Amino acid sequence: MAVESEGAVENNGVVRTAMGFGSIMNNSYGIGRMGIWRMDEMGGQATPLHRMDARIKILTVFIFIGFVMSFPRYEISALMPFFLFPLVLMGRAGIPPSYIFKKVLIASPFALAVGIFNPWLDPAPMIRVGGIFVSGGWLSFLSILIRFSLTVSVALTLLACTGIQRLCDGMGRMGVPQVLVVQLQLLYRYLFVVVEEGGRLGRGLALRAGPRSRITLRTYGALVGHLLLRSLDRAQRVYQAMASRGYTGETRMMHPPVLRRVDLLFLVGWVLFFGVARYWNLAGQMGRLLIGGGR
Amino acid sequence: MHMADALMSPAVGGVMWAISGGLLAWCSRQVRRLLNDRMIPMMGVLGAFIFAAQMINFSIPGTGSSGHLGGGLILAALLGPYAAFIVIASVLTVQALFFADGGLLALGCNIFNLGFFPAFVAYPLIYKPLVKSTQGGLRFWMGAIGAAVVGLQLGAFCVVLETTLSGISDLPFSTFVWMMLPIHLAIGVVEGVATGAVVLFVLKARPGLLGEPVDSATPPGGGRKVIIGLLAATLIVGGVVSWFASTHPDGLEWAMAKVKGKNTLESQAGMSEKLADIQATTAFLPDYGFKKSEPSQGESSSWPAPSAGTSVSGLVGGLLTLVLAVGAGWLLRAKGRSKTMES
């Protein structure tokens, strides 16, 4: 289903409306090739990792983030072993790491903006690398960037190696309120519908006003208001169709995930690794081993 | 203004998750009573609508820049506070998972910052009483812009508070506040104008749509419950977070110490204790790697003298580990990538 919907949209939705769409929509979310369709495709794969109980993956990811965030602010080298976790997940699930890291780059401005002041605010030298003194601020800034890459890439990987449907299902079984789970599923379903409606509006606007027209406030109110009304009507019809086919808010799966021993091993194994990497600086040890002490 | 995992300590993240989780559970219970066949798809599609609407920009006259809808306020105007809070939470979850906006542990913070204030403060206390049934006019625009500004200011202030309490960023509290609040004042005005424009259109095009769903079963004392909830949340935030700040060595006092200047001798004991803490836990500076600093550097004797040997070992080790991690991921990749999709 995932593939079909992508193909359909690529052929008669986004690509053909791309001109009108692009002119009014500042497409910062990358709904196109890089965006959610690609993510949807990856989440829909059927590797053993994809089929693993989503609860285990969610739990492990949260523990991972907790460990990463617990490091003191100047930490750099001891964080490195933690890259193993997202990279192994990507490897096992057949997700190209370049895709994830491109998305991480796109998302980085806020962490960059807040962290970039550290070098100015904390200029006291802390280490020396080849004759150049490096201040504490640069260390903590670098540390923020590494933490950011770790936590964000693991969140993206969680979705890419699970898929939204299984993720929602797992959240439901972990005790997340049903209202919120259904809300997430429907939001995801409707995202495609609304973006298509937006594409049609954009094409209409471009045909009438020219592709580079600026949108005034009055036009904006009408445009977004129309998008709202049309999306609501469309959603109502979609929902009625779903309800008349027996949708009650809960998803019935053909292969409901069962908790196997492998899953528990996955959890315990990774948490052990995180613990070891948190309390012994594996990278530092290796570096000393390699260049002979360094005392 | 999404908080990022990278800027947070686990304590702050955990506390904010607990608060947002509690609010979500409470809102879910409230919403379930209102839920009907119109409400379910409406909530879902409005979440999706926020995404699409955030991609449409209008030009701001005279500035050359452009603005768009923020989301929280219009959701509250269309759905009422409880459902709006849940929709905002779902939007932020999808943003965190699909677009790497914020992070998973920061999600608790983000839901609170961007959901609680528009839905439970700005909407009931400013928007609703001012806008009521007006269609345009001064009161209407004051309500829309005022609510958007207040909601965003409170949210931005919370971002500053959470960042400072976490102590990962060096930005002093006051500097950060003066950076964030003016920027978000401008953003708030733009959001208020955008929300107002859309609400006006909807009011004219389909008058029955706006206004939160009425729950006949709600006793009139519902407002008091909201206020009690607000108070409780404030107390939890104020009490618990500040407690963490005082026990957490990297917290607010750290930022305060920064503001006062780090080489002041008056707090010598506290500073050197912290520095020892940093020394003990910083990978680049394993405890045996320091030379005792020269007497000429007397006043900053607590600063570790840079030691080239250990720094390089850390650098080499770090890079090597990264290479190994990449290699492991590559070796362990699924053989013969399965392209089969589950239907």
**What is the domain-level CATH number for residue B40?**
1.10.1760.20
Domain contains A236: no
**For chain B, which residues score pLDDT lower than 70?**
1, 60-67, 133-134, 210-322, 328-343
Partner residue opposite B45 with nearest CB, options A111, A121, A235: A235
**Considering its fold, how many domains does chain B have in total?**
2
Residue A185 domain-assigned (yes or no): no
Of B32, B56, B321, the CB nearest to A282: B321
Q: Are residues B95 and B201 in the same domain?
A: yes
B91 touches chain A (CB under 8 A): yes
B258 touches chain A (CB under 8 A): yes
- The answer to whether residue B282 sits within a structural domain is yes
Q: Does B69 touch chain A (CB under 8 A)?
A: yes
Shared-domain flag, residues B38 and B138 = yes
B230 and B152 belong to one structural domain? yes
> Do the beta carbons of residue B72 and residue B80 sit within 8 Å?
no
Does B10 contact chain A (CB < 8 Å)? yes
- Whether residue B75 is contained in a domain is answered as yes
**Rounded distance between C-alpha atoms, residue B309 and residue B284, angstroms:** 10
Same domain for B243 and B273, yes or no, is: no
B242 and B284 together in one domain: no
What does the pLDDT read at residue B342? 39
Note whether residue A19 is domain-resident: no
Counting other chains too, the contacts that A173-181 makes at CB distance below 8 Å and 24 or more residues apart are: A173/A55, A174/A55, A174/A58, A177/B24, A177/B25, A177/B28, A177/B29, A178/A249, A178/A250, A178/B28, A179/B28, A179/B31, A179/B32, A179/B35, A179/B86, A180/B24, A180/B28, A180/B86, A180/B89, A180/B90
Q: Encode chain A (295 residues) as per-residue pLDDT tens digits.
A: 333 333 333 333 333 333 334 444 444 444 444 466 778 778 888 888 888 888 899 999 999 988 888 888 787 888 888 999 999 999 888 888 888 888 888 777 777 777 777 777 777 777 777 777 777 788 888 888 888 889 889 988 998 888 888 888 888 888 888 888 888 988 888 888 888 888 888 888 888 877 666 777 778 888 888 888 888 888 888 888 888 888 877 767 666 777 888 888 999 999 999 888 888 877 777 777 777 654 4
Comparing CA positions, the residue from B118, B125, B88, B283 lying closest to residue B187 is B118
Q: Is residue A178 included in any domain, yes or no?
A: no
Give the model's pLDDT for residue A64: 92
Asked whether residue B125 is assigned to any structural domain, the reply reads yes
- Residues B53, B120 within the same domain: yes
Give the range of the structural domain holding residue A85, as residue numbers without chain letter: 45-162+260-291
- Neighbouring C-alpha atoms within 13 Å toward the C-beta of B89: 30
Residue B290 placed within a domain = yes
Counting the structural domains of chain A, the total is 1
Question: Same structural domain for residues B191 and B292?
Answer: no
Domain boundary among B247, B281, B315: B247
Of the residues B183, B215, B247, which one is the last residue of a structural domain?
Answer: B247
Is B173 part of any domain? yes
Is there a domain that residue A269 lies in? yes
Q: Is B328 in the A-facing interface, judged by CB distances under 8 Å?
A: yes
Which residues of B are less than 8 Å from A114 in CB distance? 4, 7, 163, 169, 171, 176
Domain residue limits at B302:
267-328
pLDDT at B275: 42
Q: Are residues B228 and B323 in the same domain?
A: no
Count interface pairs A-B at CB distance under 8 A.
Answer: 439
